[in-house]
Amino acid sequence: MKIRIDGGVVVGWSGTSHELVPNGSVLLEGDKILAVGTDRSPAADRVIDASGKIVCPGFVNLHVHSQLNIGDYLLPDVTKKDYLAANWFVFGAPLKEKVTPPPAPAVALGRKYALYSALRNGATTVLDPGGGPGDLDDYVNIVGQLGGRVFFSPPYRSSDIFTDAQGRHYYEEREDRGRPGLKRAVEFIKKHHGAHNGRLQGILNPAQAETCEPSLLKESVAAAKELDVPIHIHAGGNFREFLQILNTYRKPVVEYLAETGILGPRTTIGHMAIRGGHSRVDYPRGNELKLLAESGATVGHCPYKCAKMGFAMESFDQYLAAGVRVGLGTDSYPLDIVAEMRYASLISRLVDKNAAGARPADVFNAATVAGAQALGRKDLGRLAVGAKADLVVINLRTTRYGPARDPINALVEYGSGADVETVIVDGEVVVENGRSTRIDEAELFAQAEAGTKRAWDNWPGRDWSSRSVEQIIPPAFPTRQS
């Protein structure tokens, strides 16, 4: 099957960077890009008209938890009341005796919703650090069904996080989770890496810096090397974690990770915002950006999630200037990688008080080539001959943009994932006119609504003080009682 996409501005690849090809044409055959230029003479089975639109490489979203993440909607108000609970894992940590794993169908629904939402918003490749436990064969089937590209294996950790009856958090070692979890992940990768024409790729997910003991991280590095897959770990995502690491290992989180050997060119660190030297942390020593840059690791920056919790990475521009590779992820809903570029840019400018900072080109690179490099892939995140046929067509001729002088600047300044019209992965149109060609979006949405309502109704059952969702997050306005 050959597809030609004609017209519009094509974001091509010069060999060293993105470049714009006005009134361009992209030719795809099977899962590969055959040509990027202006020649419209090659025959194709299908021609897509992209006049007035921008034809971009498919975006790489480095942080998509495959779950409904109902707690995302609770984040902003919770942070106002209890700063230490200013992150999902902490305020969402249940009372130990109230832990009940969700049934496999509920987990499968969350996975399907999240992975579809990310794809619909323009991310042809996602890094999934894990969602609910669920059934792993379901996972493989969902990736097959939706048509996107996913890096995943089930996450593991050697400590769990709970709240006690007074709402205080504590970590509890779980020997039954760490190594057996790593073993399960390795088995998953051995069995499923490369499934669906390579759209499902393995990645090891030791969950968080402070929940994985050092020997488990070392074993993860060895296992990733043997399997030849990348690694993702959460670190620097909240104040609580920084203190836990500092107290346990008496060093800031990046130094700690560097000593375990887990930092390297194939490792992505989700968040990595809170570090020694961050304005929220009274820790005046160390040179963590230098350590990060030297290691070649990628920071999976999720600016919107941090902003929800009232802090910022300090800063996107400073990390780049220090030589740190920065990719972008959404983490929290909405899983909108297009808008995430704008948050990355604006928040960096605010932090640095520099209106000329965090240029659109830099955040666009972060959401494309940097994310692909983090995953060890030169054939993703760029429209080059021989690269994977993963691209998105975005409509810029709307009142949202007005007359756009430069499409990349316009996309970063004004764009939204809702503007993504067409998504192609592996040479197949998986989203057309903003709708999946493979699943019934309306049906999925209705199922997600019902599933979320069930979870919210059951929330008091897991909360340390049995609070309802309304008590945790009061509505914006009172509801009229009639």
Q: How far is the CB of 305 from Zn ion (least distance, A)?
A: 8
Q: Which of residues 330-359 bind Zn ion (CB under 5 A)?
A: 331
Q: Return d(Cα 264, Cα 275) in angstroms, integer.
A: 18
d(CA 254, CA 249): 11
Q: Rule CB under 5 A: which of 386-405 touch Zn ion?
A: none
H or E element: which one contains 149? strand 149-151
Calculate ∠ Cα 55-57-63, nearest 5°.
Answer: 130
Q: Which is nearer to Zn ion, 31 or 331 (CB)?
A: 331
Four-point Cα dihedral 266, 61, 259, 254, nearest 10: 140
Closer to Zn ion by Cβ: residue 201 or 330: 330
**Residue nearer to Zn ion on the CB measure, 331 or 426:** 331
Residue 254 CB, shortest distance to Zn ion, in Å, is 18
- Judged by CB, which is closer to Zn ion: 331, or 390? 331
Q: Among 68, 141, 34, 139, which residue's Cα sits nearest to residue 335?
A: 68
In sequence order, what are the beta bridge partners of 267? Answer: 231
Residues 303-332 as x/- pattern, contact with Zn ion by CB under 5 A: ----------------------------x-
- Report, in Å, the least distance between residue 171 CB and Zn ion: 17
CB of 179 to Zn ion, least distance (A): 22
> Shortest gap between Cβ of 87 and Zn ion (angstroms)?
9
Looking at 38-148, which runs of residues are DSSP E strands?
46-49, 53-57, 59-61, 123-127
Query: What whole-number distance in Å separates Cα of residue 12 and Cα of residue 25?
Result: 10
**HSE value, Cβ hemisphere, 13 Å, CA-based, for 378:** 5
Question: Rounded to the nearest whole angstrom, what is the least distance from the CB of residue 270 to Zn ion in the complex?
Answer: 5
Choice between 124 and 268, CB closer to Zn ion:
268
Number of residues that bind Zn ion (CB under 5 A): 1
- Cβ closest to Zn ion, residue 74 vs residue 411: 74
Q: Which of residues 248-287 bind Zn ion (CB under 5 A)?
A: none
Minimum distance from residue 331 beta carbon to Zn ion (Å): 5
Closest to Zn ion by CB, 238 or 373: 238
Residue 9's closest CA among 392, 423, 398, 399?
A: 392
Residue pair 54/8 in contact (Cβ under 8 Å)? The answer is yes
Q: What pairs with residue 206 in β-bridges? A: 156
Smallest gap, in angstroms, from Cβ of residue 238 to Zn ion? 11
Report, in Å, the least distance between residue 72 CB and Zn ion: 11
Which residues are 431's β-sheet partners?
423, 436
Quick one: which of 150, 154, 106, 148 has its CA closest to 131? Answer: 154
CB of 413 to Zn ion, least distance (A): 27
3-state helix, strand, coil in the chain (%, to 5): 40, 20, 40
Q: Which is nearer to Zn ion, 102 or 237 (CB)?
A: 237
- 202 Cβ contact partners less than 8 Å away, ≥ 6 residues apart: 151, 152, 153, 188, 189, 192, 193, 227, 229
Binding characters for Zn ion, 231-250, by CB under 5 A (x = yes): --------------------
Q: Which is nearer to Zn ion, 112 or 232 (CB)?
A: 232
Which residues in 67-96 contact Zn ion (CB under 5 A)?
none
Nearer to Zn ion, 255 or 331 (CB): 331
Handedness of CA 189, 111, 207, 295 (dihedral sign): positive
* Structure-block tokens of residue 150: 């996913």
Q: Which is nearer to Zn ion, 272 or 291 (CB)?
A: 272
DSSP symbols for 353-397: T-TT-S-HHHHHHIIIIIHHHHTT-TTSSS--TTSB--EEEEE--
Q: Give least dist CB 289 to Zn ion, A.
A: 21
Q: Which amino acid is at 217?
A: L
Site string for Zn ion, 9-28 (x = CB under 5 A): --------------------
- Residues in contact with Zn ion by CB under 5 A are 331
